[in-house]
Every structure is written in structure tokens, then in C-alpha cells.
Structure 1
Amino acid sequence: HQGSQERSPRFCKELLRSRLQQIEAIEEKLEKITKYSMKLLNAQEELAMMLSREKEDTIRLAAAAGASAHDVGYVMSYVVALEQCCNILLDN
């Protein structure tokens, strides 16, 4: 019984040290996740701004050409329309 009483404080200290080590490892992972999350949010904001500018430019060009995104009916895909434009330019 005496031996187990002597080991108890040491065992408790080791248990606490082990738990602190686990917590520190979790904190490191949380810090990594935070950094990656910030990078992801920055990339998301940048992409949203690029998309907004692209949409504004496209709306302005469409208005200048007399086209409306709200017209009813078939809408040719962008790739097909681009191909047709290239063919027209190459034919001229």
C-alpha cells in the first residue's frame, strides 16, 4: 500500500502532463485551421469581387449591344456563341 501511495502523486503528475501535451497539440491544429480559414476567406472575397466585376462588365456590354439577360427563350451557350464570333471574325 505504501508503494502505491508513493506512485500516486507521480502518476497524477504524468497524467496531467500528458493531458497538457494533448491540449497543446490541439491548440496547434486549431491555429493551423485558423490560418487556413483566413486564407480561404480572403480567396473567397477576392473571387466574389472578380465575379462582381465580370458581371458588371458583361451587363454593360450586353446593354451596349442591346441584349438582355431577361429575354425569354433559348439562350445559346457561351462556348457556342464564342465559337460563332470567332468564325465570323475569321471569315472577315
Structure 2
Amino acid sequence: MDKIKKQFLDIFDLSPEIVLDLPLIMLVGQQKLYIENHKGIKNFDNDKIKISINKGYLIFSGKELVVEEIREDCLFISGNIVMIQYEKRGGAV
């Protein structure tokens, strides 16, 4: 994060995920997942969900994964979540 953005965040007491368009991920145990600042679902099946974010993808693996709710700014996933992975656009991890 560059110095100007850092000062802006500090002066106005803003969250970095809002200003920098970063995803906010909250995991409750292994069963519930909440994601803010997503760009949509790229792929979905029962054991893997690939979510588009600003500069890449978040991949959630598990069993019996279900998209409980999807909104423009956030989405909720439930199931047995066993792995979270980040992938840059272009395929590099």
C-alpha cells in the first residue's frame, strides 16, 4: 500500500478493504463463510467454489458446499469447508 493511501485511511479512519477494493473473508468454524467485495461466482459445484475478486480468484474446497445467499456486495457459503486458496488472474498462485 503506498504512503498516500495509508495516510488517507488513517486520516478518515476507513477500512482498507473498502478503499482498496479488497475482499473481506469471515470464516466461522468450517461451516460458514462470508465474503465481501466479490466480483461474482466463476465456477461452482458441490465440492469447489471459485469466486472472482479484484485481482484474482478465491477458491473454496470442501464437501456439500452451498451458496446460501448472494448479493452484489457479499455472499454466504455453507458446508464443510476444508481449504481456501488464492489464485492470481492468469493462473499463478
TM class by shorter chain equals: under 0.3
Q: Larger radius of gyration, structure 1 or 2?
A: 1
TM, length-normalised to structure 2: 0.24
Greater share of strand residues, 1 or 2? 2
Structure showing greater relative contact order (alpha-carbon pairs closer than 8 Å, 6 or more residues apart):
2
TM, length-normalised to structure 1: 0.24
